[in-house]
């Protein structure tokens, strides 16, 4: 009887040890959720101030998001991008997106007045125990102006509602 109890006890210790040894470390996940947000935008070259409507659609199984931002200033632009999201902690991720700037008219928007390639580095912070998210990013549009080959840079941020 004592042999059986010892064997069960050793097997139990072995099982617990095996479970502990096979555990993988916890990894931070990309901030959960798609969102729609609003906020201000500033053109860093000309000081043009405007508004932004931001949209993020987060793929659940991959660290990839589809983002679109509409920038409204003296002129308007829509900037769709695909981003690679890197988790910092449970609520925060940083990202780098690549996409295109689509503008309307001759009046420069906060990111130029010509269709151009854009990079978008940024950060998202999901406020714990709420559906709110705070976001901030820059849009760097290369060869963004019709009359020059200048790069346009805008900085924006805001608050979004996750869905």
Q: Are 41 and 73 in contact (CB under 8 A)?
A: yes
Is pLDDT above 60 for 3? Answer: no
Q: Are 109 and 103 in contact (CB under 8 A)?
A: yes
Q: Provide mean pLDDT across the span 129-146.
A: 96
Q: Tokens 């998210």 label which residue?
A: 133
Q: Is 160 helix (H, G, I), strand (E, B) or coil?
A: strand
Per DSSP, what are the bridge partners of residue 139? 154
Residue by residue, DSSP assigns 25-88 as PP-PPPPP--EEEEEEEEETTT--EEEEEEEEEE-SSSSEEEEEEEEESSSEEEEEEEEEEEES
Q: Determine the distance from the C-alpha atom of residue 47 to the mean position of all C-alpha atoms in its chain, rounded to a whole number.
A: 25
Q: Provide mean pLDDT across the span 85-107.
A: 94
The 10s digit of each residue's pLDDT in 35-79 is: 999 999 999 988 899 999 999 999 988 999 999 999 998 999 999
Task: List the single range of 5-9, 59-63, 92-96 with lowest mean pLDDT.
Answer: 5-9
**pTM here?**
0.79
Q: CB-based burial of residue 141 (10 Å sphere; 0-12 exposed, 13-18 middle, 19+ buried)?
A: buried
Rg of the chain over Cα atoms, rounded to whole angstroms, equals 24
**Structural domains of the chain sorted by starting position, each given as residue range(s) with its CATH number in brackets:** 35-162 (2.40.160.20)
């Amino acid at each position: 009887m004592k042999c059986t109890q010892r064997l069960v006890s050793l097997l139990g210790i072995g099982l617990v040890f095996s479970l502990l040894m096979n555990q993988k470390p916890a990894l931070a996940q990309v901030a959960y959720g798609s969102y729609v947000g609003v906020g201000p935008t500033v053109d860093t070259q000309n000081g043009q101030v405007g508004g932004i409507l931001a949209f993020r659609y987060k793929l659940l199984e991959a660290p990839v998001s589809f983002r679109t931002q509409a920038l409204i200033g003296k002129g308007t632009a829509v900037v769709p991008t695909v981003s690679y999201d890197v988790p910092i902690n449970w609520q925060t991720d940083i990202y780098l997106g690549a996409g295109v700037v689509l503008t309307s008219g001759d009046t420069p928007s906060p990111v130029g007045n010509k269709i151009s390639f854009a990079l978008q580095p940024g950060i998202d912070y999901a406020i714990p125990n709420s559906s709110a998210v705070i976001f901030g990013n820059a849009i760097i549009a290369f060869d963004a102006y019709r009359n020059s080959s200048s790069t346009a840079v805008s900085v924006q941020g805001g608050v979004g509602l996750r869905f």
